[in-house]
Amino acid sequence: MQSADIITDKMPNHIGLILDGNRRWAKENGCKSTLDGHKQGYDSLKSVAEYAFDKGIRNVSAFVFSTENWNRSKKEVDYLMKLLVRMMKRDVKELHRKGVKVLWLGTRIGLKPDVLQAIEDAVVKTEKNIKGTLAFCLNYGGQQELADATSKIIQKGYNAEEITPALIEENLYAPELGPIDLMIRTSGEQRLSGFQLWRCSYAELYFTDTKWPAFTNEDLDLALEEFASRNRRFGGDAKKA
Catalytic residues: 20, 69
How many angstroms from the chain centroid is the CA of residue 217?
A: 16
Alpha carbon distance 97, 95 (integer Å): 5
Residues near 233 by beta carbon (within 8 Å), at least 6 away in sequence: 239
Sign of CA dihedral 165, 167, 170, 171: negative
13 burial via Cβ count (<10 Å: 0-12, 13-18, 19+): middle
Between helix 217-229 and helix 35-54 the angle, nearest 10°, is: 60
Quick check: 53 and 100 in contact, CB under 8 A? Answer: yes
Quick check: 221 and 182 in contact, CB under 8 A? Answer: no
Residues near 39 by beta carbon (within 8 Å), at least 6 away in sequence: 83
Quick check: 12 and 181 in contact, CB under 8 A? Answer: yes
